[in-house]
Chain A
């Protein structure tokens, strides 16, 4: 079955530092890839996605590139802010008729001023 390995946290950074959260996956076919973010006390919300190889998803200064050859979808941001403190989840889709996402265990990011 599909699986995802996500960098374990917690990750603690100072404001304006560079962020990388690694994500690798195994999946059948060519799934869409997602990053979700969960702010304290809230549900998950879509941060960005990529639907095919070499696509780059981006939102709110975050980026991730769909790397089919390394089955990876690493999340990056050049300069984090305190408001980016949250839990980040990587999730490959099932592809087409599967309807399901497989979520990683999440990475807690804390950004200090």
Chain B
């Protein structure tokens, strides 16, 4: 059982480049989330998808877009990367509703030069 998988594991971008972070879960979960983790800031929610076909902004959505491709997959896109987006990105999923426990992927470490 793979759980939540993320690709790539590590990426270096130049300012202004674009990229998409991929996330997939095999637990038949309804809800999926994207977080960023920065030193001293904990985890901050970027976007989430409560169920297939819906997406909503979290705490820090500026500079990002998301797509809930199907029930399994939830991608995060940086259209024009900035150094401030250097971070570790985590995808998570949960059953949704009363099933609040979130299950996390291993993370993508992104460096924007």
Known contacts A42-B106, A43-B105, A97 near B97 by CB under 8 Å: yes
A105 to B48, CA, bound (A): 20
Contacts of A44 in B (CB 8 A): 43, 90, 92, 102, 104
A49 to B101, CA, bound (A): 8
Contacts of A25 in B (CB 8 A): none
Q: Is B96 an interface residue (CB 8 A)?
A: yes
A105 touches B40 (CB 8 A): yes
Q: Is A101 an interface residue (CB 8 A)?
A: yes
Q: Is A46 an interface residue (CB 8 A)?
A: yes
Known contacts A99-B50, A99-B96, A100-B48, A45 near B42 by CB under 8 Å: no
The B interface, classified by DSSP as helix, strand, loop or mixed, is: strand
Render A27-59 as a binary contact track against B, CB cut-off 8 A, 1 for contact.
000001010100000111110010000000000
> What 18 new A-B contacts, CB under 8 Å, besides A45-B104, A101-B100?
A43-B4, A44-B43, A44-B92, A46-B103, A49-B101, A89-B42, A89-B43, A94-B100, A96-B98, A99-B48, A99-B50, A99-B100, A100-B58, A103-B42, A103-B43, A103-B44, A104-B42, A105-B41
Question: What is the interface of chain B, defined by CB distance below 8 A to chain A?
Answer: 4, 31, 33, 35, 40-45, 48, 50, 58, 90, 92, 94, 96-98, 100-107
